[in-house]
């Protein structure tokens, strides 16, 4: 690659997907500008993955630092793209880059849609995760959990929430509420090690007794499934609290029950049966309702993309090209598509959780980013050169200055990292020190004092 065929690419979002696109594009010799809402890079690798996973987080962080040190990579944190934000989508398109890739994750929250969901003590898992990872705006907000917490969901995020509740909040009881049965649980057996020392085995056995007939009706053998579930409770992390963790299977929350102060006092639950659906099963409500007492409810049922950003949106997702392209049929999967106009949004691409909300682990997001980079390369081969990096960056800084935005570059990040490291030994509940507000971080970067 020579300087003459180096394009300028803007990547919006510095999570695992964005960093993968950036890495490939930078390696190919292009000039890469990364715009990121958070001051820090990493996305959910910084603010989602459980804090105790030091090896995974540390490895990713090192990789991302190496990338940001490249001379053809220009990072600007604290820059949000969206309507009414630092830059609109149209602003970004007008900067003169050859392509723009949106890797902004799934920042929208799925409506819970259960009566009473605005009660005190009802939370979205993402907010709780952002809280214990100290994302600015969430780190210092109170998340009162009471004694008994119901976590709705059966995936890895449910386990992460339970982990935090048992290890750090040390609540009395955590119950995972699962619409279908134990066979349909979605969490990774390795993840359950974080909480298996706290499992209420007697309670789990009773729960299997409660649902065994409904399991048998679809050919599932409760005894075998129970053994399989309990066999996964090996290599448990040491127990640090008396929290009891259990499950409520084949049950759906229908209504949040509140007290006179609009605080959660329980759930109205409906029991479900399983019906076969091809190879899989579906939950069907039995119209048998009962009260399930609890003090807080966390919905860990996945996220959707942020429809306010200004990209074409439909049904929880940004719209991608439904038509196969001449190049490679898969290219369409990454192209933003304007259904009203009936054509692709020229030069705009999507990858990672922005393309498929809440799908997969870091490795999946990274692969999606790598794949998207290939698609963008094919697109660039058909394009004449856009503006030079300096021109694009000057224009960008001018707009940000006129809007009184406060972008943070790599030098600023280095200062911040040094200051946070200096707090070693002063870790908060998550095991490492992080400033919990943008104001503190910016203050430190500008003046050297937090
Ligand atoms: C609770 C939880 C725990 C997880 N634990 C693990 C785990 O242990 N191991 C594992 O491998 N995977 C884990 N994952 C999955 C992993 O975090 C994701 O696969 C991955 O982070 C998705 O990457 P992404 O780049 O698509 O999105 P994200 O990581 O969400 O990154 C999005 C980036 O875009 C930026 N952004 C958002 N909106 C805007 C905007 N409007 N303008 C500018 N920038 C914006 C954000 O600041 C962020 O930096 C976990 C996920 C969750 C939710």
Closest-CA residue to 211 (of 288, 299, 273, 298): 273
Domain residue extents for the chain: 3-107+305-408, 111-301
pLDDT digits 0-9 by tens, 218-233: 999 999 999 999 999 9
Architecture of domain 111-301: 3-Layer(bba) Sandwich (3.50)
Distance CA 245, CA 162 (A): 8
How far apart, in Å, are the Cα atoms of 396 and each of 17, 97, 212, 301, 404?
23, 11, 62, 37, 12
pLDDT digits 0-9 by tens, 137-175: 998 899 999 999 999 999 999 999 999 999 999 999 999
Give 4: exposed, middle or buried? Use CB within 10 Å, 0-12, 13-18, 19+. exposed
**What are the φ and ψ backbone dihedral angles of 225, each rounded to 5 degrees?**
-65, -40
Ligand 1 center–CA 20 separation, angstroms: 13
Ligand 1 atom 9 nearest Cα:
361
Among 1.20.1740.10, 3.30.9.10, 3.30.200.20, 3.40.50.720, what is the CATH number of 3-107+305-408? 3.40.50.720
pLDDT surpasses 90 at 449:
no
Ligand 1 contacts CB of residue 35 (under 6 A): yes
Lowest mean pLDDT among 72-81, 171-180, 396-405, 427-436: 427-436
Ligand 1 contacts CB of residue 26 (under 6 A): no
Atom number in ligand 1 closest to CA 354 = 26
Establish whether domains 3-107+305-408 and 111-301 are of one fold. no
Ligand 1 center–CA 46 separation, angstroms: 8
Ligand 1 center–CA 91 separation, angstroms: 24
Ligand 1 center–CA 161 separation, angstroms: 16
Distance CA 121, CA 135 (A): 20
Ligand 1 center–CA 302 separation, angstroms: 12
Ligand 1 center–CA 16 separation, angstroms: 7
Ligand 1 contacts CB of residue 82 (under 6 A): yes
Ligand 1 contacts CB of residue 37 (under 6 A): yes
- Higher per-residue pLDDT: 348 or 384: 348
Q: What is the pTM of this model?
A: 0.94
DSSP H stretches of helix in 108-258: 125-132, 156-164, 201-216, 222-231
Ligand 1 contacts CB of residue 309 (under 6 A): yes
First to last CA, the chain: 43
3-state class of 374 per DSSP? helix
Distance CA 81, CA 311 (A): 10
In contact, 157 and 128? CB cutoff 8 Å = no
Pocket test for ligand 1, best of 19, 40, 48, 84 (most atoms within 8 A of CB): 48
**pLDDT grade for 430, boundaries at 50, 70 and 90:** low
3-state class of 330 per DSSP? helix
DSSP class of residue 366 equals H
Residue 403 corresponds to which tokens in the numbers above? 């809007």
pLDDT surpasses 60 at 426:
no
Pocket test for ligand 1, best of 10, 12, 15 (most atoms within 8 A of CB): 15
Ligand 1 atom 10 nearest Cα:
361
Taking each helix axis from N to C end, the angle separating 125-132 and 156-164, rounded to the nearest 10 degrees, works out to 50
Ligand 1 center–CA 202 separation, angstroms: 37
Average pLDDT over the chain reads 94
Lowest mean pLDDT among 24-33, 185-194, 367-376, 414-423: 414-423
Atom number in ligand 1 closest to CA 303 = 53
Ligand 1 center–CA 342 separation, angstroms: 30
SS (H, E, C) 4-65: HHCCEEEEECCCHHHHHHHHHHHHCCCEEEEEECCCCCCCHHHHCCCCCCHHHHHHHHHHHH
């Amino acid at each position: 690659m020579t300087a003459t065929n180096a394009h300028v690419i803007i990547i919006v979002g510095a999570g695992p997907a964005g960093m993968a696109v950036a890495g490939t594009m930078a390696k190919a010799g292009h000039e890469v500008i990364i715009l990121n809402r958070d001051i820090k890079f990493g996305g959910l690798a910084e603010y989602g993955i459980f804090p105790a996973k030091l090896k995974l987080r540390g490895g990713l962080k090192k990789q991302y630092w190496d990338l940001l040190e490249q001379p053809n990579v220009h990072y600007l944190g604290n820059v949000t793209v969206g309507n009414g934000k630092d830059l609109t989508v149209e602003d970004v398109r007008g900067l003169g880059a050859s392509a723009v890739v949106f890797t902004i994750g799934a920042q929208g929250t799925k409506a819970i849609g259960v009566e009473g969901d605005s009660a005190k003590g009802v939370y979205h898992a993402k907010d709780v995760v952002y809280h214990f990872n100290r994302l600015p705006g969430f780190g210092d907000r109170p998340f009162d959990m009471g004694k008994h917490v119901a976590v709705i969901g059966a995936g890895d995020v449910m386990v992460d929430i339970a982990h935090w509740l048992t290890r750090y909040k040390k609540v009395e009881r955590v119950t995972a509420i699962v619409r279908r049965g134990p066979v349909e649980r979605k969490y990774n057996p390795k993840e359950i090690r974080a909480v298996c020392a706290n499992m209420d085995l007697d309670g789990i056995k009773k729960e299997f007794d409660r649902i065994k007939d409904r399991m048998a009706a679809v050919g599932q053998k409760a005894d075998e499934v129970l053994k399989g579930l309990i066999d996964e409770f090996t290599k448990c992390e040491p127990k640090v609290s008396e929290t009891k963790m259990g499950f409520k299977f084949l049950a759906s929350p229908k209504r949040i029950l509140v007290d006179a102060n609009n605080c959660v006092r329980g759930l109205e639950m409906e029991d479900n049966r399983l019906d076969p659906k091809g190879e899989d099963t579906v939950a069907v409500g039995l119209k048998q309702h009962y009260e399930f007492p609890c003090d807080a409810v966390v919905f860990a049922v996945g996220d959707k993309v942020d429809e306010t950003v200004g990209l074409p949106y439909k049904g929880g997702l940004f719209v991608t090209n439904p038509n196969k392209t001449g190049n490679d049929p898969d290219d369409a999967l990454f192209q933003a598509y304007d259904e009203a106009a009936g054509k692709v949004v020229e030069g705009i691409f999507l990858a990672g959780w922005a393309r498929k909300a809440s799908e997969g682990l870091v490795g999946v997001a990274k692969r999606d980013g790598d794949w998207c980079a290939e698609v963008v390369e094919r697109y660039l081969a058909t394009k004449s050169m856009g503006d030079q990096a300096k021109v694009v960056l000057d224009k960008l800084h001018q707009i940000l200055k006129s809007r009184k935005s406060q972008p943070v570059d790599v030098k600023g990040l280095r200062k911040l990292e040094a200051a946070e490291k200096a707090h070693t030994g002063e870790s908060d509940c998550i095991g490492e020190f992080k400033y919990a507000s943008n104001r503190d971080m910016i203050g430190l970067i500008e003046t050297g004092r937090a």
